[in-house]
Amino acid sequence: MTHLRCLYTGRAPSRALAIADLRAMALRRLPGFVAEFLEGGAEDENTLAANLASFAQARFAPRVLTGPPPPSGIRLFGQDLPLPLVIAPTGFNALHWHEGDLALARAAARAGVPFTQSTVSNATIEQVAATGARHWFQLYAFRDRGASAALVERARQAGAAALVITVDAQLYGKRAWNTRLYRGENALRWPAMLDAARHPRWMAQVWARGMPGFANLYPFLPQGQSGLLPSARWVREAIDPALDWSILGWARQHWSGPLIVKGIGHPEDAARALAKGADGIVLSNHGGRQLDGALPALDLVAAVRDRLGDGPTVLIDGGARRGVDLAIARARGADAVMTGRATLYGLAAAGEAGVARALSILAEEYALAQGLIAGGPLWPPQGA
């Protein structure tokens, strides 16, 4: 029998039926070095693989004859959301699509889901605010706390709804597959350049529109270092490698709204973050890009929920690619899921329309999963 299964790799987001189709579309359009940056993980990528496997291995024991399907919406930090999903902060979004941050934010605004803007985004805080998205701002704490305070103040003035402090990137993960594509710090190797030339749709955007740097960091970058690669190096050196719990006290002085700590990987740290003034946490291993060998957040969330009780807001991220993954995360005890690559695949496939498609796929699949699970538990039941 001829095997007729294949993913959609054309250009029409409406024809993508799964995040896997958007990924295939993205991988066709992107040069290899951008695809590597988007997809890759640290070292042997064991944690990256474990993140995906953690969701793939979960199984429900569904209930039947339970009447109308449950609603998809949740309440998070006092706001009603249409589904338990927040777009994760990702840097360099303009590498994937011109004005990538704005495309993500606009699609998020239309869907009513929060968009988290990274410190190393390519749009300004004010540009993202102008999209009308539920705007969360993610902070990498710099050694220069004055620079960090200035960013937080800008986010406050722009009306950001939450501050997310990332605490698992004080050292930069060893992403050797990515590094091997470069000669020295500033230039791609020839094969990677030739490969880029063979991706005309991506190249045409870069030629026509240019490649913006880290728009929010221009005030701090040394003269002559505002290009993408030199400023990326600057950021690595600027991030405080000796962060400790005092950063939460510092953040509380500068930010009175919801404060979320992202990158928690242990139940005791979850409890400590809340004791130090955080309003919520994100269990995360940074999408397998930092410590290779870290646990998937999904495997940790039940223990964290046991430690914290029902009250505190717990998000998880890493490996979610299907609507059912949101249901799995919630069944284990998370309030919501952050998506990194799932929504980035949509961006890289087709810009704002691709992100909108990613969100609608996840929303449809989540509603379907909820209807079919009908309140049934994950099996074996937790604690059994």
The SS3 of residue 142 is: strand
Which residue is it, tokens 């940074």?
286
Q: Specify the stretch interacting with ligand FMN by CB under 6 A; choose among 172-180, 210-218, 252-260, 333-341.
A: 333-341
Residue 340 in contact with ligand FMN, rule: CB under 6 A: yes
The distance from CA 190 to its chain's CA centroid, rounded to whole angstroms, is 30
- Exposure string over 113-130, b if 16+ CB within 10 A, otherwise e: bbbbbbbbbbbbbebbbe
- Exposure string over 20-37, b if 16+ CB within 10 A, otherwise e: bbbbbbbbbbbbbbbbbb
Candidate list 34, 38, 107, 274; residue touching ligand FMN; CB under 6 A: 38
CA-CA-CA-CA torsion for 321, 215, 262, 237, nearest 10 degrees? 120
Closest distance of CB 345 from ligand FMN, Å: 9
Residue 51 in contact with ligand FMN, rule: CB under 6 A: yes
Other Cβ atoms less than 10 A from the Cβ of 241: the count is 11
Closest distance of CB 251 from ligand FMN, Å: 14
Residues facing 15 on adjacent strands: none
Residue 262 in contact with ligand FMN, rule: CB under 6 A: yes
Candidate list 166, 216, 231, 313; residue touching ligand FMN; CB under 6 A: 166
Candidate list 173, 280, 318, 346; residue touching ligand FMN; CB under 6 A: 318
Q: Are 316 and 297 in contact (CB under 8 A)?
A: yes
The SS3 of residue 97 is: coil
Whether 286 is catalytic: yes
Measured from the CB atom, the residue of 62 and 172 that comes closer to ligand FMN is 172
Calpha distance 360→365 (Å, rounded):
8
- By CB under 6 A, the count of residues binding ligand FMN is 25
Residue 322 in contact with ligand FMN, rule: CB under 6 A: no
Residue 89 in contact with ligand FMN, rule: CB under 6 A: yes
Calpha distance 180→209 (Å, rounded):
27
Residue 265 in contact with ligand FMN, rule: CB under 6 A: no
Calpha distance 139→148 (Å, rounded):
7
Q: What is the DSSP letter of 75?
A: E
Closest distance of CB 72 from ligand FMN, Å: 19
- Exposure string over 203-236, b if 16+ CB within 10 A, otherwise e: eebbeeeeebbbbbbeebbeeeebebebbbebbe
Measured from the CB atom, the residue of 89 and 312 that comes closer to ligand FMN is 89
Measured from the CB atom, the residue of 38 and 264 that comes closer to ligand FMN is 38
Residue 120 in contact with ligand FMN, rule: CB under 6 A: yes
Q: Are 39 and 344 in contact (CB under 8 A)?
A: no
Closest distance of CB 88 from ligand FMN, Å: 3
Of the residues 96, 135, 254, 286, only one is catalytic, namely 286
Where in 196-255 is the site for ligand FMN (CB under 6 A)?
A: none
Residue 148 in contact with ligand FMN, rule: CB under 6 A: no
Closest distance of CB 36 from ligand FMN, Å: 10
Residue 284 in contact with ligand FMN, rule: CB under 6 A: yes
Q: What is the DSSP letter of 294?
A: P
Closest distance of CB 192 from ligand FMN, Å: 17
Measured from the CB atom, the residue of 131 and 339 that comes closer to ligand FMN is 339
Candidate list 173, 265, 287, 296; residue touching ligand FMN; CB under 6 A: 287
Candidate list 339, 359, 365, 367; residue touching ligand FMN; CB under 6 A: 339
Name the phi and psi angles at 163, rounded to 5.
-110, 125
Residues facing 142 on adjacent strands: 239
Residue 31 in contact with ligand FMN, rule: CB under 6 A: no
Q: Specify the stretch interacting with ligand FMN by CB under 6 A; choose among 16-24, 102-110, 316-324, 361-369.
A: 316-324
Catalytic residue positions, numbered: 286
Contacts with ligand FMN, residue ranges (CB under 6 A) = 37-38, 51, 88-91, 118, 120, 138, 166, 262, 284, 286-287, 289, 317-320, 338-342
